[in-house]
């Protein structure tokens, strides 16, 4: 029993001092992280002509993530390099970001004319800068499906060139196809989009342009039919254009709190971080 007490004392006393030491030493301060975000504005946000009203707004990532349609099951490899068998892949739910590297807007169209507004007859393009030579047509459901092989996640796994990575890429292709083919996904300029008189329709407008590159431009809706003859043939068409501008904003996050900061603070800390990284490369 004496030996037991002795051994207990040997372990308990150091533990006691360790606990006191931990209580007196403050926790290591969390280092802040810095982010740059590009915020887009649409001007004007609403336009009306001859009974047709179009409202447009930019969709940010946070809004897109809220839609449960964009959370899909894909294959994953939880065992990493230890696994070389496709059969051991697991399925998990992930946010697949269907509009990755694409410029996206939410569009609402109100039809107060006396005819059906068929969007297949319209042309919607993004004009980069001020030159009409740089026109990019908006995607519809078919062209979205055709763009799947160029989705960053699909490209990443295809480039690995292993049976396991090919299987994961295939699962991403299927997931994206489910999203783009879903009736829940409304593309405002899709060939099947029809807006009846006195009705309103909302949908997404997508351009195959990286948001980081589309710093300034226009979204143009050409050939929006506003009047038809008795036989239903278009006799008047209107053109709607919206100016797109972007502004860079800077943020600092520390201990789960994010605040907006000045550009100079962001740049100085980013420069400091890059310098520290280079020093670590050459000094180790």
List pLDDT tens digits, range 55-112. 999 987 788 888 999 999 999 888 776 667 788 789 999 999 999 989 999 999 999 9
Q: Between these two residues, 186 and 11, which has the higher pLDDT value?
A: 186
Tens-digit pLDDT profile for residues 229-253: 998 899 999 999 999 988 888 998 9
| High-pLDDT (> 90) share of the chain, % | 51
Does residue 86 form part of some domain?
Answer: yes
- Half-sphere CA count of 137, side-chain side, radius 13 A: 10
Q: What are the C-alpha distances in Å from 113 to residues 107, 121, 183, 187, 193?
A: 18, 16, 26, 21, 16
Does residue 147 form part of some domain?
Answer: yes
Does residue 152 form part of some domain?
Answer: yes
- Half-sphere CA count of 60, side-chain side, radius 13 A: 8
- Helices (H) then strands (E): counts for the chain: 6, 14
Q: What would the two tokens of residue 137 be?
A: 């047509």
Beta-bridge mates of residue 110 = 53, 200
Q: Which residue is it, tokens 């049976």?
A: 163
- Cα gap 162→106, rounded to integer Å: 39
Q: What is the dihedral of CA 158, 101, 253, 265, to 10 degrees?
A: 120
Does residue 268 form part of some domain?
Answer: no
Q: What are the C-alpha distances in Å from 180 to residues 118, 143, 144?
A: 20, 10, 7
Q: Which of helix, strand or coil describes residue 151? A: coil
Q: In the chain, how many domains are there?
A: 1
Does residue 175 form part of some domain?
Answer: yes
Which structural domain range is residue 122 located in? 45-247
Does residue 213 form part of some domain?
Answer: yes
13-27, 83-97, 145-159, 205-219, range with greatest mean pLDDT? 145-159
What CATH number does the domain containing 220 carry? Answer: 2.60.40
Q: Mind spelling out the 3-state secondary structure of 28-74? A: CCCCCEEEEEEEEEEECCEEEECCEEEEEEECCHHHHHCCHHHEEEE
Q: Classify burial at 105, counting beta carbons within 10 Å of its beta carbon; exposed 0-12, middle 13-18, buried 19 or more.
A: buried
Which of 6-10, 122-126, 214-218 is predicted least confidently?
6-10
Q: Which of helix, strand or coil describes residue 152? A: helix
Predicted TM-score (pTM) of the model is 0.75
4 pLDDT above the threshold of 70 = no
């Amino acid at each position: 029993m004496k030996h037991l007490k002795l051994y207990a004392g040997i372990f308990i006393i150091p533990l006691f001092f360790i606990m006191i030491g931990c209580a007196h030493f403050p926790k290591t301060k969390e280092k802040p992280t810095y982010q740059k975000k590009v915020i887009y504005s649409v001007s004007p946000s609403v336009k009306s002509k001859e009974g047709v009203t179009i409202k447009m707004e930019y969709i940010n990532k946070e809004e897109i993530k809220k839609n449960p349609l964009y959370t899909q099951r894909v294959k994953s490899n939880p065992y990493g390099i230890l696994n070389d068998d496709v059969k051991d892949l697991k399925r998990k739910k992930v946010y697949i970001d269907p509009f990755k590297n694409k410029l996206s807007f939410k569009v609402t169209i109100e039809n107060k004319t006396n005819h059906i507004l068929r969007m297949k007859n319209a042309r919607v393009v993004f004009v980069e800068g001020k030159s009409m030579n740089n026109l990019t047509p908006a995607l519809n459901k078919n062209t979205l499906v055709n763009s799947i092989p160029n989705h960053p996640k699909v490209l990443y796994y295809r480039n690995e060139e292993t049976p396991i990575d090919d299987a994961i890429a295939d699962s991403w292709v299927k997931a994206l196809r489910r999203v783009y083919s879903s009736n829940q996904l409304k593309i405002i300029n899709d060939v099947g989009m029809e807006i009846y008189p006195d009705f309103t329709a909302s949908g997404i407008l997508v351009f195959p342009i990286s948001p980081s590159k589309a710093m300034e431009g226009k979204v143009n809706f050409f050939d929006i039919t506003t009047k038809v003859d008795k036989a239903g043939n278009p006799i008047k068409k209107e053109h709607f254009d919206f100016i797109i501008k972007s502004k860079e904003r800077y943020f600092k996050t520390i201990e789960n709190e994010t605040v907006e900061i000045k550009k100079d603070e962001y740049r100085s800390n980013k420069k400091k971080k890059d310098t520290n990284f280079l020093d670590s490369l050459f000094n180790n």
